[in-house]
Amino acid sequence: MKIDILTIFPEMFQGFLTTSIIKRAVEKNFVDIKIHDIRKYSKDPHKKVDDYGYGGGRGMVLMPQPIFDAVDDLKDKNTKVILMTPQGKTYKQNIAYDLSKEKHLILICGHYEGFDERIRILADIEISIGDYVLTGGELASMVITDSIVRLIDGVIEKESHLNDSFNNNLLDYPVYTKPVDFRGMKVPDVLLSGHHANIKKYREQEAIKKTQTRRPDLLETGDKNG
Ligand code: ADE
């Protein structure tokens, strides 16, 4: 899979791309992630990418020209273009699953007070990562990239994400590691029993219990994406 991210703050991605699972996925060629500075595509002599909004009242607005040119340059017939915006569809695990099967994604990060409305026409999907407003789409694009990359076959053990929270409308079951007794809090006996069928049953029950107390909405709506 290939992911191209369009941003005016490429430096924000440095730590993200050089750490942990994302770093390994890139090194092992499971994914090719490229960060593109939108300024590079500006036709303005001073490489301007934003200007005052018509009608006044708002701050700087991202101009369409550099973003249209960047998408024209990077897009092919297999590309899905995603626009980061708090006005988009709320991001959920089922969208991550769908996107992890795509061949090529372009993620456009908006910034400052917004982007020119005409940029919307470029997007196949507009995504919001939640009902709050960030200073820009960069963090949102990292959230989306991270959640997609870990689902690509081979990046992490399948077992690790088969039990993820939100699969089957359930939160994940609790897990424990050493020591067996920590400050009087004990690991449940069943997990030490070596009895696989009982462990499986315990985990299913705990996942249901956890979902009932923390996220009953997942059980009520049957909403696959939680
Ligand atoms: N840009 C600013 N806020 C955002 C959000 N909540 N989701 C996606 N992009 C954004």
Is residue 150 annotated as part of the catalytic site, yes or no?
yes
Ligand 1 mean position to 128 CA, how many Å? 5
Q: Is the pLDDT score of 187 beyond 60?
A: yes
| 66 is annotated as an active-site residue | no
The whole-number pLDDT of residue 222 equals 57
151-174 tens-digit pLDDT: 999 999 887 787 788 888 899 999
Tell me the C-alpha distance between 216 and 95, whole Å.
21
What CA–CA distance (Å, rounded) separates 154 from 152?
A: 6
Which of residues 6 and 164 earns the better pLDDT score? Answer: 6
Whole-number Å distance, alpha carbon 210 to ligand 1 midpoint, is: 29
Is residue 220 flagged as an active site residue? no
Q: Going by C-beta distance under 8 Å and a sequence separation of 6 or more, which residues neighbour residue 147?
A: 91, 93, 96
108: left (phi over 0), alpha (psi -120 to 50) or beta: beta
Told to judge if 174 belongs to the known catalytic residues of this protein, a careful annotator would answer: no
Q: Say how far apart CA 208 and CA 214 lie, in whole Å.
A: 10
Q: What is the pLDDT of residue 204?
A: 96
Contact, 145 vs 96, CB < 8 A? no
* pLDDT class of 59 with cuts at 50, 70, 90: confident
The pLDDT of 108-134, averaged and rounded, is 94
The arithmetic mean of pLDDT across residues 2-17, rounded, is: 98
Give 62 Cα–ligand 1 centroid separation in angstroms.
15
3-state secondary structure the chain: CEEEEEECCHHHHHHHHCCHHHHHHHHCCCCEEEEEEHHHHCCCCCCCCEEECCCCCCCEEECHHHHHHHHHHHCCCCEEEEEEEEEEEECCHHHHHHHCCCCEEEEEECECCCECHHHHHHCCEEEECCCCCCCECHHHHHHHHHHHHCCCECCECHHHHHCCCCHHHCCCCCCCCCCCEECCEECCHHHHCCCHHHHHHHHHHHHHHHHHHHCHHHHHHCCCCC
Q: Is 143 in the pocket of ligand 1 (CB under 6 A)?
A: no
The matching CATH number, chosen from 3.40.30.10, 3.10.100.10, 3.40.1280.10, 3.40.1440.10, for 2-157 is 3.40.1280.10
Domain boundary assignment for the chain: 2-157, 163-221
> Which residue of the set 86, 116, 138, 206 is catalytic?
86
pLDDT in tens, 71-81: 999 999 999 99
In this structure, which residue's CA is closest to atom 6 in ligand 1?
Answer: 86
Is any atom of ligand 1 closer than 6 Å to the C-beta of 110?
A: yes
Give the integer Cα–Cα distance in Å for 102 and 58.
36
| Token pair 């569809």 in the structure block, residue | 89
The confidence score (pLDDT) of residue 226 equals 44
The tokens for 92 are 């959920």
Inter-residue contact 156 to 21 (CB < 8 Å): yes
Q: What is the pTM of this model?
A: 0.94
- 163-221 CATH: 1.10.1270.20
Which atom of ligand 1 is least distant from the CA of 84? 9
Beta carbons of 89 and 129 less than 8 angstroms apart: no
